[in-house]
Structure 1
């Protein structure tokens, strides 16, 4: 109930060990209290190509980062991903790329990880965050082992650890300690205002338990955001950190972000 990624399907989301977990944990834990955070969106072909002009409008209206869908399952590629990633890059919006998991189709985690890697290899080392979008059907939401296998395989190839996206309710369906303890950060979804019209804003602290994670790296607080340049029914997100924090997650020098 938390994410509008479901409609993407038919038309078609701890800390970096090399940087020292304690240092980044401190950065992230203090971020909300000192307003080191910013707004962003996540998009797929549902929004169409967000080319330079649209991306500029979005940035001028508060979009600092964008999560862009690039793949799903084993063989599906989002047809506008490269276009949107280019548009956001041209105006200085930070970027992440996500894969929509489909274990319910009988695909292995290795197969889907390899498909994602084949579609994103040109983006490795550019300060872009890889993300696993975890909202599968078929009773697979508690399949922690599958999710961790995908995360491990992508981390090894990218040289940085992906975030994992899931709803607050999904967290409570299984023991995610192995994922949290392996330093895979959490992007959580939960809509306390339901599906009423929303906007880019500071939503404050996540009002749900995110244990076993100590905190969420990002929160998707609505799928009904009105974001100039993107659309009127857009997933809107809050990232608990600055551009420097984003670069740490991506294992990228801040100058490349």
Structure 2
């Protein structure tokens, strides 16, 4: 069981998301504490109108504290909370250390504190193994970027290559971005292609954990994600 989708930003200005085959679309929303993606809301409303599952992400810069950047993200995404998966895009260094892990956890914890929603964290495959992410992995799901190569990928892949090295403290992968040179009908330029190892119900559970009336609060990554070949179990639904 899996979902296919894309992630977009102002670099895809002009794309008609209603014409793109995708179960989900994740939009860039903010960066640091001074940038709002000018295409975020138009992309968001277009994807929502087309019935896509939704996500929004914050591109971390580390120029502000984790709390400051989280608050900036939430200030500009308040109308999306309850509809979209929330994501921290961490890639300002490919060799994180204990300080950067702490920064990311502060951001994630702040968003959870303010919304009751547990965000995902996006990072490169190598970054998962360059630091001890156990304090993050116990509560937050992973969206990992790993590409087999830089060749053009025409259409979605059912079983994209992830390698055998593992993803450090993250025992499961919620979403895998497997190319930045993907091509889909309806857009002539490159796209990031993603596969989410979850059902539509699990996606909605990430976006709004109490939407089904569960009194247990937010779910963790282990409760709504699966490894390849495993059966999905969503607790509390």
Structure-1-length-normalised TM-score: 0.76
The CA distance in 2 between the partners of 1:140 and 1:101, in whole Å, is 14
Paired residues in the alignment total 207
Partner residue in 1 for 2:223: none
Counterpart for residue 123 of structure 2 = 166
SS at match of 1:46: helix
Shift of 1:197: 0.4
Distance 1:66 1:231 in 2: 17
Runs of 4+ aligned residues of structure 1 deviating over 2 Å after TM superposition are 139-142, 203-208, 228-232
Change (3 A) 1:74 1:231: farther
Give the deviation of 1:141 after TM superposition.
2.9
Distance (Å, rounded) in 2 between the aligned partners of 1:172 and 1:203: 22
Shift in CA distance, 49/131, structure 1 to aligned 2, threshold 3 Å? farther
Determine which structure has the larger helix proportion and give its number.
Answer: 1
1:141 aligns with 2:103: no
The structural deviation recorded for 1:206 is 3.2
> Which segment is superposed worse, 150-159 or 205-214?
205-214
Find the partner of 2:2 among 15, 18, 37. Answer: 37
Is the contact between residue 224 and residue 234 of structure 1 (CA under 8 Å) also seen in structure 2? yes
- From 186, 191, 201, give the equivalent of 1:244: 201
Q: Which consecutive residues of structure 1, in runs of 5 or more, have no partner in the other structure?
A: 1-35
Structure 2 vs 1, CA of residues 231 and 175 (structure 1 numbering), >3 Å: closer, same or farther? farther
Q: 1:203 touches 1:221 (CA, 8 Å); kept in 2?
A: no
Mapped to 1, the partners of 2:95 and 2:150 lie a distance apart of 25
Aligned partners of 1:37 and 1:238 also within 8 Å: yes
The 5 A counterparts of 1:23-102 are: 36-50=1-15, 54-59=16-21, 63-102=22-61
The answer to whether structure 1 residue 177 and structure 2 residue 134 are counterparts is yes
